[in-house]
Amino acid sequence: MDGFSQDNLLGIGGFGSVYERILDQGERVVAVKLLNLQSRAVSKSFIAESLVYESGCIQMRTKLRSGGFKELNFLERLNIAIDVACALDYLHRYVLEPIVHCDLKPTNILLDNEMTGHGGDFGMARLLPVATDIDTSANQSSSIVIRGTTGYAAPEYGIGSEVSTSGDVYSYGILLLEMFTQKRPTNSMFGNSLTLHNYVNIALLEQVASIVDPTLFRGGETGETY
C-alpha cells in the first residue's frame, strides 16, 4: 500500500484520488486512480475513465506536486499546447457526437515518453447533440452541478448554462496563459477585477516579457513560484 501513500498523491477528484506508481522495476511510471466506492456515481466514473495512464501527468514528469511547468522549456510547452488543441479539435469536430471534456486543466494533461500531450480524466465529460453544439447553449439554464474546476471553468457555467465546446475552449485559453506565465488562475494576486486573463491582457502589448515565466529565459532553472 506504500504506492498509495500521501507522498505519491497527485490529485483528488470527485470520484477518487490519483497516485503515481512505478512498475516493472522502475521501467514504467503510471498514474492510477483509486476510486471512492462510497460515491454513488463511482460505477459511472469507472466506465468513463481509464484507470491507468502511461507515463503519468505533467505533475509526475516534472516531479512538482502542484502541477507546474517549471521544468519544461518553451518548445516543450508549445508542443504540448498544440497537442491539447488537436485533441480538443478531434473531440469537438471529428466524432459522431461532440464530446465536451468539461474539466481541462494542467493536472488533466498526460505526457507520454515522447512528451506528447494527451487529455485525461474524462469523469465530467459529456456528449453533445450536434444540433446544440456551441452556439445554442448561451441562454440555456441547467439544474446539473457546475462542471469544471474553479479558475478554469467557463464563467457561464457558474450561472447554470449548459456545457458546450466553447466552454472547453475557454478552459484551454486559461491553460495557455498558465503554461507561459507560471501563474494559476487561483493565485492569491487575482481577485475582484483582476484575473489571469486581465493580467496578461494589460501587459500584452508592451510588457509581455514582465509576465512570462522567467524560467523560459534561463534554460529551465527554477524561477518564481505560483
Query: Within a domain: residue 120?
Result: yes
Query: Within a domain: residue 13?
Result: no
The CA-CA-CA angle for residues 22, 81, 35, to 5°, reads 40
Residues 99, 125: contact at Cβ < 8 Å?
yes
pLDDT tens digits for the chain (226 residues)? 566 777 777 666 656 677 777 766 666 666 676 766 666 655 555 555 546 555 445 544 533 334 457 678 889 889 999 999 999 999 999 988 899 999 999 888 877 767 788 787 787 888 887 654 444 444 444 444 567 888 999 998 888 888 899 999 999 999 999 999 989 999 999 988 899 999 999 998 888 888 998 888 765 444 444 4
Query: Within a domain: residue 158?
Result: yes
Predicted pLDDT at 60: 42
| CATH number of the domain residue 70 falls in | 1.10.510.10
Predicted pLDDT at 140: 44
Predicted pLDDT at 64: 33
Predicted pLDDT at 78: 92
Question: How far apart are the C-alpha atoms of 186 and 27, rounded to whole Å?
Answer: 35
Nearest Cα residue to 20 out of 110, 113, 152: 110
Residues 121, 152: contact at Cβ < 8 Å?
no
- Looking at the DSSP assignment, which residues form a beta bridge with residue 126? 100
List 103, 121, 168, 213, catalytic entry: 103
Query: Within a domain: residue 25?
Result: no
Q: Report how many domains make up the chain.
A: 1
Residues 148, 168: contact at Cβ < 8 Å?
no
Domain hosting residue 110, numbered range: 57-215
Long-range CB pairs of 196-204 (<8 Å, 24+ gap) are: 196/151, 197/173
Question: How far apart are the C-alpha atoms of 126 and 112, rounded to whole Å?
Answer: 25
Q: Is there a catalytic annotation at residue 168?
A: no
Predicted pLDDT at 71: 72
Torsion of CA 123, 125, 126, 128, to 10 degrees: -160
Predicted pLDDT at 86: 94
Predicted pLDDT at 192: 80
Predicted pLDDT at 147: 74
Q: What is the largest CA-CA distance in the chain?
A: 54
Query: Within a domain: residue 11?
Result: no
Residues 56, 30: contact at Cβ < 8 Å?
yes
Residues 99, 91: contact at Cβ < 8 Å?
yes
User: Which residues are CB-contacts of 195 (< 8 A; sequence separation ≥ 6)?
Assistant: 185
Q: Look at residue 127 and give its three-state secondary structure.
A: strand
Query: Within a domain: residue 46?
Result: no
Predicted pLDDT at 65: 38
Query: Within a domain: residue 181?
Result: yes
**Whole-model pTM?**
0.69
Query: Within a domain: residue 23?
Result: no
